Structure formats: structure tokens, C-alpha cells
Homo-oligomer: A and B are copies of this chain.
Amino acid sequence: MSRRGEFGFIDFIRSNFPDPEGTTGIGDDCAVMPSGEGELLFSTDLLMEGVHFLRNESSPEDVGWKAAAVNLSDIAAMGGTPVATFLSIALPKDALGEWADRFIEGYTEISRQFDVPLLGGDTTSSLRDIAVNVGVLGRCPSGGRLMRNGAKVGETIYVTGPLGDSAGGLKAILMGIERTDDVTRLICRHKRPIPRIEAGRILMESGKAGAMMDISDGIGSDLRHIMKASGVGAVIDLERLPLSPELVSVCKEQGWDIYEMATSGGEDFELMFTAPAGLENELDIAVYPIGKIVPGNELSWRFSNEPMDRDFDGYKHF
């Protein structure tokens, strides 16, 4: 791969993302889009080399996938539909060319899978570390979006899929353990998270959910955001947390604390929401009840209905 300079790189991105009808994407001072109906949603995430990914551990394609995935997940967390993403990328000299092109391949792959155009961004240089910022614009019918402040006492707390797989995959990478099929699957869940856009939209349309968010820092941290925003407490029944067979078997083999992983490991990007009990029998998608919203402001943990003496508090950024 040759160094084609800034404009060559932009042309490459542009060739992967033709403008949808009625919009103007890359190439002018701003992207231009129709306003459309309902409400607008916007979210953004900044990923730094050395903090969010390591160049010798993550393939550029995986970094590209994940940079888009975490943002699409925020739109899913409101029950919204993504309209477009915007990508800013700062590249040190040694990441120009191959690294940058392969990053765009991964970014393009997930964007096509979820049919979301890239409509703009910024490319620039960096002295040392790669920096990637993704912004995503979404839409939701007026009043439909599911916020963190809608949880009500008595509601059941649900998640849309297994917890802890991503944390297990990350730990497997960091500890360099043997890559059995199970371990490989966990690593894939860590590197290629799936934003639950369809699940989010179904929950929004059901009209049943109170509060919703995506699980990025582990339920031990994320649930506290719903509690604080809604002014409620919560009880989680650990034995009800959905766990993948892969995680169960790897944790057994390695002697890892599976509940620590399922509650405090981040980046599962499943959705967590509150709704009346019994919703698991009413939807076309799988949802798993894991606890209950209660009065107060405490988060407590039970196992087989017995209170536990320990806390799980999720991942902190700094």
C-alpha cells in the first residue's frame, strides 16, 4: 500500500460509501440531510490507541468494526434507528496506508450490515497514537425514545443477551491463554460486538419498557445510571444472569469468577431495560429477567434469594 496522502484516503472512504438519495455526504464543509420526522438522536465515542485498543493486539478491521458498533449501540439503547455516522481519525505516520485502509474495511463491513451510511468526518495526523472518534445520528418517533429515567418501582429488570462474554474474551487476550473454540468465540464477542438495533426498536415499539440503556461498563456500573436517573433502587438475582455456555466452560477451566465478569466486565453491548414482569413471554426476541426495581437508592445482589455481602461495581474510565 502506498501513502496516498489525505485526499487519497478520503477518496477511498468515499468510494466505500456512496451518498443515499437526498443526502450529500463527504466532500463539502458539512454533510446535508433531510430533517425527517420525529426526534433526532446523537451519540459520539472517542477511542484512543493504548487505552481502547492496542495496535499489536487488535486487527485494524476489528478496531474499525468496534468504533462503529459502540456508537450504533447507543442509538439501539434509545430504541432508535441510525441515520448516518461521522468518522474522525488521527493517524501517525506509521498507520497511514495499510492500517488506515484495513480500519476502513472493518468500519465499512459493519456499516453495510446495518445499512448505515458514513456521511462525513475528518482525517488528520497524529504525533504518536491513533485517535478515532465516531458520531452517529439517529431518529426515533416523537416521544418513543427510551431514556434512563423511566424505571418504576415494581418493574422487572431485563437484559437482551448473555453477559460477561466480552470481558472473558478480553481476559483471555490479556492472559494469553490457549485459543480453544470457546475462547475464540469469547474473543470474537469482545472484538466484534453486535449493536442490538433491532431488539431496541422492538422494545421501543412494544411500548412496555420503562428505562433502557446499553451495557458498556457492566451492569454493576450501568444499572446505577438508571437508578440515579429514575430515583429508584434495584435488586439483582445473580443466578438469573444469562451466561453463555462458552463463558461458563472457560471460567470453570481457568478458575475465573464468572459473576465478577458478568456484572463488572464491560462491552457486552446487550441492552438492559425495565418493564412489567412477564414480558419475556410476549416478544419475538429473547429477553432475560435478572432482577427488580425497588424503592430507595441502593443496588443489592442476591443469590438464590439470599442477600450477598459483596458488591460489583463495573468498569471506570478514569
Contact = CB atoms under 8 A, between A and B. Distances in A.
A153 interface: no
Interface in A127-143: 127-129, 131, 133, 135, 137-140, 142
The oligomer's copy count stands at: 2
A229 interface: yes
A148 B138 CA distance: 26
A43 B27 contact: no
Contact of A42 (B6, B30, B48, B49): B30
A316 interface: yes
Interface string A270-305: 000000000000000000000000000000000000
Contact of A38 (B31, B35, B126): B35
A248 interface: no
Contact of A318 (B49, B96, B121, B138): B96
A148 B44 CA distance: 27
Interface of A: 5-6, 24, 27-52, 74-75, 77-78, 80, 84, 86, 88-91, 93, 96, 119-129, 131, 133, 135, 137-140, 142, 145, 147-149, 213-214, 229, 316-318
A213 B44 CA distance: 25
Contact of A50 (B28, B122, B127, B213): B127
Nearest to A9: B318
Contact of A41 (B32, B78, B135): B32
Contact of A88 (B46, B96, B318): B46
B126 A48 contact: yes
B124 A317 contact: yes
Given A30-B74, A131-B131, 8 more contacts: A5-B318, A30-B43, A42-B84, A42-B120, A45-B122, A52-B124, A96-B318, A126-B129
Given A31-B43, A41-B32, A131-B131, A318 B52 contact: no
Contact of A316 (B6, B90, B131, B316): B6
A6 B37 CA distance: 35
